[in-house]
A and B are shown apart, each in its own frame.
Chain A
Amino acid sequence: MTTATAASIPTHSAGHSHHPNYIAIFIWLVILTFIEVSIPELVHIKGVGHDRLTPSVLAPDAYQEEGVDAAVRDAAAAMAPSERFQTAGWAMRIGVLAVLALIKAALVGAFFMHLRFDGWKLNVILAVPTALFVFIIIMLTPDVAWQWPKLY
């Protein structure tokens, strides 16, 4: 019965049932995920706000001579708000990660969700929330720009 069914179904009917090489897409997704996860592990940006409140700001080797008190004193000093972000490096890392995530999302949308094969009208429908999504993010940037200098 299944054979008969298979025979009666065209594998490439118009706008439907087009099956790209899913495994190739999968391999790309895995490679991109691996790169993404490696970036923060390999490229540790010293001085990023993350580490400010924490013992990692110490340069521990420097204290092997001076001892415990100096370490604690300097850790406290390092918590002072005057410490600044290394904004450029951090922003670059965020930018690279964002681009990689968007490429992966586009691969899933285009091939797994068949947006490439389902006609332009569906893409027009999807363009609306996508544009609104981008609009929401752009609308929020003045708030970020307002907060940023006060905090960092």
Chain B
Amino acid sequence: MSTAISHHGVSGHDHSHDHGHGHGATMPPAIGLPNTKLCMWLFLVSEVMFFAGLIGAYIVIRFGTAGWPNPYDILAVRVTAFNTFLLICSSVTMVKAFQWSDAGDRGKAMKFLFATIVGGAIFVGIQVYEYRHLLHQPSHVLLEQVEHMMAERGMAVEGHGEHAAAPVSVVLAGMGQSQDQAVKDQLEKLHGLLAEGRPDIKKTAAPSELEELREWDRNVLQETIALAALIPADSKDGKALRKAGRHQNLYPEGFVPSRDNFTSTFYIMTGFHGFHVFGGVVALIAILALYAVRKAGTMAIEVVGLYWHFVDLVWIILFTIVYLM
């Protein structure tokens, strides 16, 4: 028991006896803080400069690039907003673990540590899911939107059984209204194009084959614009169609890192942060295990907590500049 609590000593006079191996010189705490804590802060200071480099590069690239896409068209901002919320929650559970350990309630401290680990793990999981989704070709999103609009109008979608049947109420409502034939024609045209799929041609293919690829992209853009022109911009479908169309137009091959400045900065910044979260989760698991067998005390929880809050703090900045600006 004494090991666990004597870690607390801030005044320092009992530090060298902590682990019963206090031979050699005693280490007085620097600037009134325990050395472990100060060392973590010095590490975090170097981390600040690391992220300063990334953010600085981002600013120059961002303002030096014409036609930066609207992140809202490409990224699932609401999902990431939830992830941000999750990280804030995990910061609270982290600090609660420290508070309970400080108060001597090891059981509650371990529960909160575990909750922090779960929060961090879910954060990383959602980020992996986000990456997988982004790397996928976006034309299926546009296709789904088109099929949704066709179903709303009671149109049959061949070969896609699950989308073909519109709810009866929708069909009846559609029959009551004056049918906009132009919209239907355009929907069918675009659907045909999308259903046939983007030609599976590698970037290294012959120029003539690449031209086929580019033509498909061009046609999809053209037909999407034409369809968008017929649908009110502020309607739900109008917004969804434009969003899917912009995504398809900008990243027909998927949101891959090599595509443009937005994709490369996105992956390097969120990737490095995600890697930090992953490292934090591993460290938290280790600390929890050591704490459970009383090889680590409140100081360990406080110090790993500093790292965890720093990762949360960095995410607050990154989320704002990458997803919202």
On A, residues with C-beta under 8 Å from B are 1-9, 11, 13-17, 19, 22-23, 25-26, 29-30, 33, 36-37, 39-41, 48-56, 58-61, 63-64, 67-68, 70-72, 75, 81, 93-94, 97-98, 100-101, 104-105, 108-109, 112-113, 118-119, 121-122, 125-126, 128-130, 132-133, 136-137, 140, 143-144, 147-148, 151-152
- A102 (CB) vs chain B CBs: closest residue: B317
B256 is an interface residue with CB less than 8 A from chain A: no
Q: What are 18 sample pairs from A and B whose C-beta atoms fall under 8 A apart?
A: A5-B1, A14-B10, A22-B96, A33-B88, A37-B324, A49-B68, A50-B68, A60-B229, A60-B231, A67-B229, A68-B186, A93-B325, A98-B321, A101-B321, A119-B33, A133-B52, A137-B55, A147-B63
Neighbouring A residues of B206 by C-beta, 8 Å: none
Contact partner of B320 (CB less than 8 A), chosen from A14, A60, A101, A121, is A101
Is A2 in contact with B107, judged by CB distance below 8 angstroms?
yes
| Contact between B324 and A36, CB atoms less than 8 A apart | yes
Complex partner residue of B41 from A15, A16, A126, A140, CB under 8 angstroms: A126
Chain A's nearest CB lies how many Å from the CB of B46? 8
Residue of A nearest to B242 (CB): A56
Residue pair B52, A54 in contact (C-beta under 8 Å): no
Partner of B31, one of A22, A97, A119: A119
A23 (CB) vs chain B CBs: closest residue: B92
A9 touches B5 (CB 8 A): yes
Nearest CB in chain A: distance from B146 CB, A: 14
Contact A132 B52 (CB under 8 A): yes
Residue of B nearest to A71 (CB): B229
Contact present for A9 and B64 (CB under 8 Å): no
Interface residues of B in 43-75 (CB under 8 A from A): 45-46, 48-49, 52-53, 55-56, 59-60, 63-70, 72-73
B interface size (C-beta, 8 A)? 83
**Residues in B whose Cβ lies below 8 Å from that of A6:** 103-105
Question: Are A140 and B225 in contact, CB atoms less than 8 angstroms apart?
Answer: no
* Of A5, A8, A97, A152, the contact of B66 (CB 8 Å cutoff): A152
Given contacts A23-B92, A60-B229, A147-B63, contact A9 B52 (CB under 8 A): no
Which residues of chain A come closer than 8 Å to B182, judged between CB atoms?
A: 67
Residue of B60, B91, B320 near A100 (CB, 8 A) is: B320
**Interface contact A148-B89, CB-CB below 8 Å:** no
Return B37 CB to nearest CB of chain A, in Å: 8
Query: Is B102 interfacial (CB-CB < 8 Å)?
Result: yes
Residues of B within 8 A of A112 (CB): 91-92, 94-95, 305, 309, 312
- B window 205-246: CB within 8 A of A: 221-222, 224-226, 228-233, 238, 242, 245-246
Q: Which residue of chain B lies nearest to A106 when distances are taken between CB atoms in the complex?
A: B313
Q: What residues of B have a CB within 8 angstroms of the CB of A16 in the complex?
A: 8, 10
Name which of B19-27, B77-85, B130-138 contacts chain A. Answer: B77-85
Cα of A9 to Cα of B102 in the assembled complex, Å: 8
